[in-house]
Structure 1
Amino acid sequence: MSQTTSTARRRRGPTEEQEPGSARAGRNRRFGLEKQRSLTGWIFLLPAALLILWMNFWPMLQAFILSMKTGRGTRLEFAEPLWFNYERLLNDEIFKLTVGNTLLYLLVQVPIMLVLALVLANLLNDPKLRFRGLWRTAIFLPCAVSLVSYSLVFRTMFANDGFVNDLLLGLGFVDAPINWLGETDTARFVIILGLLWRWTGYNMVFYLAALQNIDYSSLEAARIDGAGSFKTFWYVTIPQLRPMILLTAIMSTNGTIQLFDESWNLTQGGPAYTSMTMSHYLFELSFQKNPNFGYGAAISYVILIMVAILAAIQLKVGDKRD
């Protein structure tokens, strides 16, 4: 009996020793294939990664070094102390004014635009609405118009002898033409109105796309439970749109902080810098009057920091995922 058992053990021994070896060989082949695939992926990504480093991050590093230099034109040297340009920002009244203007546009225009885009998207998502395609196209079209073209149209409409003043005078709302682009409050109003006209339809398209992915059964369940249109929209639709609302809020905030075109084309920053944005002031310092690239680079980094901080706050507040 013992001889039989030992014989069986001897017969099983080589097989048991061979199985771990074959398993290890299989694992090695699998790991080899995974490494090969990973290496192939990195080879394909490497050209794009190098281009991003060269075209994006290297200029950012150069701009940071430039922000620590002073001088006019190309005659630049490192400042004493290195953070001199950033200290100068704290005492620059024009820069403080442009920061206030930019934040005003952000706090007034962005919430109105997003709410209006959300309401319009919900209305135009109704399958029973006639000419839905026509309304969607009409509201989105301003986004496809050239910035210079629409700015010229707005400047013409809000001129002293333009359509808006003629309309108000004809209706008897005013007794004399309003200098829309020559007064601080009205110039800011025209910029905000232009931003709303141009970008509301752009954000509406994002919300329309998100509405297509909402579970229709949840809307039907809310209606069966007796919820009206407003409650269904507020308690069922909006929670499911939260990721898209967060995305559009971040994009709109970043775009407004970097706003340049409307300030440049509509009001030229006037009157007396009271409608100028930070990016417009950066352009003026860098490419007009006596170019000061070091100081302009410092302003660009302040804009970058503001964009990063506001985006982080919005992500922290708006992202409720577990």
Structure 2
Amino acid sequence: MSVSEVRLRLRAGASGRRRPRPLGRRIQRPGVYFALPAIVLFAIFFAYPLVASFWQSLTATSGGVTRFVGLDQYARLFADPLIGTSLFNAGILLVVQVPLMMALAVGLAYLLNQGWLKFKGGFRVLHFLPAVTTLVAYSVVFRVMLATDGGAVNQLIGLVGIAPVDWLNHETWARVALIASITWRWTGYNMVIILAGLQAIPAELYEAARMDGAGRWTIFSRIVIPQLRPVLLFTGITSTIGALQLFDENFILTGGGPSDATLTPVLYLYKVGFRQFDFGYASAIAWLLVALTALIAFVQFRLTREKL
């Protein structure tokens, strides 16, 4: 047998064998099997409701008959005065409550990060306890405390000669009560996240700043805040989303009143959908909230991206 014949037979045998698949292809199918339950749950409980709600926003139901109306439901948003009122109230929360809560969270976290402070664990638990309470439970407690007649807050300020305040039935004071309750609930939650960011700052930065003669304020403004920008961005975006999606607190405390002073977009969505049964328009309000939330988060990210 010549050398050329041997080579031909070897090539024929090699071509007849099945080449082994790469490792990535061999584990690909079992990986899909493991991920399949999560994919199914995602499709049923997230993807399908998302698509269904968008389709519902393009329809209207009248006399038990659902018909396609295109963008008419979105056109109603621009002519609805209560949409503007609810967005104005949400804007007050974004401008007043979110910065106030963030400032308190940063201050408390900075204080709890000091080496001279004793009983740090107890103080951390004490400040974080409001975040553990359920939204409904603490809202009911605040409603009882802020009652005009016999409320604990009015009784306390009455000891110093201040007349009772109608906290939940006056437009201005109702907003103050709502801002106070939300701030009490979420300050500790953001404080823990910011405290974790503070503890991740290298100690060498503090030592170098002190050696250069930097004071407490210089260290705080030139080292702490710049190092905390990613954490502050995260807490700021989540707080913004929470303000736009506020429902439990104002639903229980004031029901959106008085005179729609505490009406928020989600509470208005609830009233349109589950009291007026106008689910098409309610879905349009929901998608308006999605667009606003995405826009505000995008702006916040772009404003801080160059500094991260």
TM-score with structure 1 setting the length:
0.85
Q: Deviations over 1:78-101 (max 9, x none)?
A: 22xx11111111111112111111
Is the alpha carbon distance of 1:250 and 1:172 closer, same or farther for their aligned partners in structure 2, counting shifts above 3 Å?
same
Does the aligned pair in 2 maintain the 1:246–1:319 contact within 8 Å? no
Distance in 2, matches of 1:30 and 1:313, equals 50
Alignment root-mean-square deviation, CA: 2.2
2:281 alignment counterpart = 295
Aligned amino acid, residue 130 of structure 1: K
Q: Distance in 2 between matches of 1:74 and 1:297?
A: 18
Residues 167 and 77 of structure 1, relative CA distance in 2, 3 Å threshold = same
Contact 1:141 1:201 in 2 (8 A): yes
Distance 1:35 1:240 in 2: 43
Mapped partners of 1:219, 1:72: distance in 2? 67
Distance 1:257 1:31 in 2: 51
Structure 2 counterpart SS, 1:70: strand
Separation in structure 2 between the aligned mates of residue 35 and residue 57 of structure 1, nearest angstrom: 28
Aligned counterparts of 1:108 and 1:93: Cα–Cα separation in 2? 23
The equivalent of 1:3 in structure 2 is none
Structure 2 residue ranges without an equivalent (≥5) = 1-18
C-alpha separation in 2, matches of 1:104 and 1:261 = 17
The answer to whether residue 213 in structure 2 is matched with residue 226 in structure 1 is yes
**1:52 is the counterpart of 2:38:** no
Deviations 1:265-306 (A, max 9, x none): 111111122211110010111111x31101101100001111
Between Structure 1 and Structure 2, how many residues are aligned?
A: 292
Cα distance, 1:170–1:321 mapped onto 2, change above 3 Å: closer
| Structure with the greater alpha carbon radius of gyration | 1
Identical-pair percentage: 40
Partner of residue 309, structure 1: 295
Tell me how far 1:35 sits from its aligned partner: 3.1
> Which of 253, 256, 267 in structure 2 is aligned with 1:280?
267
Q: CA deviation at 1:42?
A: 4.1
Does the 8 Å contact 1:73/1:291 carry over to 2? no
Moved more, 297-306 or 52-61: 52-61
Where does residue 85 of structure 1 map in the other structure? 73
Partner Cα distance (1:217, 1:40) in 2: 48
- Alpha-carbon contact 1:72-1:291 (below 8 Å) kept: no
CA contact (8 A) 1:72 1:293 kept: no
Further displaced range: 47-56 or 154-163: 47-56
SS at match of 2:22: helix
